A and B are shown apart, each in its own frame.
Chain A
Amino acid sequence: SQTIHQWPATLVQPVGSPLSLECTVEGTSNPNLYWYRQAAGRGLQLLFYSVGIGQISSEVPQNLSASRPQDRQFILSSKKLLLSDSGFYLCAWRGVSGNTIYFGEGSWLTVV
């Protein structure tokens, strides 16, 4: 069966520091991969999606970037965090022929 792992689960970072959130999927090949952010009391905002290695589409221009160095690995990064980057970050995957999106457990980021 397929599983998705996301880490770290929680982190507190100072303003201006870098960020790296990692996500890996097991049990499937060539998935579509997604990064969403959910601010407190807000909906899920699609940040990036990827349909293949090295292919990244950005939905919202901002302080973040994403990379897909391997088929089942998706990384969310920032060189310098802003206070507004705080939130709940969710990685997700979908099979090429599927409709359902499967989410990881999320990463809580607090920028102080």
Chain B
Amino acid sequence: SQKIEQNSEALNIQEGKTATLTCNYTNYSPAYLQWYRQDPGRGPVFLLLIRENEKEKRKERLKVTFDTTLKQSLFHITASQPADSATYLCALDTGANNLFFGTGTRLTVIP
């Protein structure tokens, strides 16, 4: 079965720095890879999707890369702000009906 690992359970960074989160997966490559944000006690909210034939995708201060050779996606938040503090989940979409989530990285941006 597909296994998804997010590099660290928690990440603390200083405000204004770039946060980099890692998502690694095993087995077959997904058709899409998605990133979600989850605040405590809330449902996840979609942020970005990147397709297997795309190397990079950007949205405002967010950037996602996708390396199918390394089986890895990197999620960057530039000029981080305390409001960016949340848990970030990567999810693999096989193009079928399922979306498999990693365990998440809890990001804390320190003022």
Contacts and interface: CB of A to CB of B under 8 A. Distances in A.
Contacts of A57: 97
A44 interface: yes
A76 to B, nearest CB: 15
Contacts of A59: 98
Interface in A55-112: 57, 59, 88, 90, 92, 94, 99-106, 108
A44 B99 CA distance: 10
A24 interface: no
B43 A92 contact: yes
A100 B34 CA distance: 8
Contacts of A108: 41
B44 A44 contact: yes
Secondary structure of the B side of the interface?
strand
B109 interface: no
A27 B17 CA distance: 40
Given A49-B97, A51-B97, A43 B43 contact: no
A108 B43 CA distance: 11
B97 A43 contact: no
Given A104-B43, A105-B43, A106-B41, A43 B89 contact: yes
B98 A49 contact: yes
Nearest to A108: B41
Contacts of A19: none
A42 B93 CA distance: 19
B45 interface: yes
Interface in B66-103: 89, 91, 93, 97-103
A99 B49 contact: yes
B103 A106 contact: no
Interface of A: 32, 34, 36, 42-44, 46, 49, 51, 57, 59, 88, 90, 92, 94, 99-106, 108
Interface of B: 4, 32, 34, 41-46, 49, 89, 91, 93, 97-104
